[in-house]
Chains A and B, each alone.
Chain A
């Protein structure tokens, strides 16, 4: 683990000894192009569709001085009559993407998703320490403030350090949309409905649901950043029952 620190030191030395223009170029290249939303839209799985989610990313980025880039939410939508599916992986540009501290999350789309066995086994660099909000905050995860009440939105919304590590994606592990027979996207991010009665995890017939991944790579039996399991429903109150509050990954496409 010493290597990143050595690299960082080497980069600083190199920057100091190279021309100012080069240093500015290096700084520009590593400016923020990825973040986790510091807050949810707040209406469960109803994000106002992809357009509403993108606008949320853009607004949060603008508030921290990154509005000059075009921001898209990492979300898929499923095929509907007359409308083809949209894959999250096709919405986010080509990378590389950096967090607010200039740490690389992934080199490109193939690295982010592990398109080959070797890439997938090694993994990308989206971790609890790097998956920061646009304000530079760590997203509280499975190890932080464990409390039975952290499944209750009324508690979670006033307890900013409680576990909220589930990020809405509606996406399969490869970054693509699910087939259209079951709901993985809260009806393409327009629904805040819950199923009747006690809902199981994951998609089921006539069950509103959203697929999620983990910022801290802890949970669900696999720790996937983008596709671990489903929610219990699509209302704002349903999301915290499995430790999410409706936050999104945002990527700059330019």
Chain B
């Protein structure tokens, strides 16, 4: 099985470049309005709060020529005294959203994204590995790919896109902690931990950069254009 997989990977790499080129030429009609950050902020779960995370999205988008949109990180924060909870799903506009490289006719649809109806939840959305690309149009390494694995995506959210209501930390203290706490993550390749959730698969054990890397992530997050 190992040999088959590596052969597959090598052959896929050889042919991918020409495919990328061909498809990239078709994408002009649908500007990128969704991406996974190509790089983390790098301080574990301390993103500088929602503002810091949004600024990271905006900076990466700008570097990729998409700075004319307003970008938001897909992150929730939990209620604190005097501060109500913020739901990731309420921060990202209404969509629909397109990835950097448009491989499919259908974009990401908001109600499908969170499975707002039973049939939408059962069928799933366009959030799968071939669409959860970075702002550079690159695949995010997941299970079965060369290490390091980067598929744990910070969200701090429940599967419906809303903040956790219990007191336990799911947001690295609202994205300010690089030590104590925990972050809820989804999987960009929708593989791992016995489920296929893109936004709420499991919790990390700790908020340090090394803690995140021990769980198969580096602190990447999803960015959506709200306009």
Contacts and interface: CB of A to CB of B under 8 A. Distances in A.
Given A123-B197, A217-B190, A219-B130, A140 B124 contact: no
A178 B127 CA distance: 26
Given A221-B106, A222-B124, A4 B160 contact: no
Nearest to B114: A121
A127 B125 CA distance: 15
Contacts of A1: 143, 149, 151-152, 187, 192-193, 202, 215-217
Contacts of A142: 130
Interface size, A (range): 35 or more
A137 B124 contact: no
A145 to B, nearest CB: 5
Interface in B1-45: 1, 4-5, 7-8, 11-12, 15-16, 19
Contact of A224 (B7, B12, B124): B124
Contacts of B144: 128-129, 138
B68 interface: no
A104 B129 CA distance: 21
A120 interface: yes
Interface residues of B, number: 53
A146 interface: yes
Contact of A121 (B106, B159, B202, B217): B159
A120 B190 contact: no
A235 interface: no
Given A143-B129, A145-B12, A222-B126, A120 B121 contact: yes
B118 A221 contact: no
Nearest to B125: A222
A122 interface: yes
Contact of B124 (A3, A113, A118, A123): A123
Interface in A136-176: 136-138, 140, 142-147, 161, 173-174
B121 A114 contact: yes
Given A4-B192, A104-B194, A114-B122, A138 B5 contact: yes
Interface of A: 1-4, 104, 113-114, 116-118, 120-130, 136-138, 140, 142-147, 161, 173-174, 216-219, 221-224, 227-228
Q: 6 closest A-B pairs (Cβ-Cβ)?
A: A1-B216, A123-B196, A120-B121, A221-B106, A121-B159, A173-B122
18 contacts: A1-B152, A4-B192, A4-B193, A104-B194, A118-B159, A120-B115, A120-B122, A121-B160, A125-B194, A128-B144, A144-B12, A145-B12, A146-B19, A216-B129, A217-B128, A217-B129, A223-B127, A227-B123
Interface of B: 1, 4-5, 7-8, 11-12, 15-16, 19, 104-106, 112, 114-115, 118-119, 121-130, 139, 143-144, 149, 151-152, 159-160, 187, 190-197, 200-202, 205, 214-217
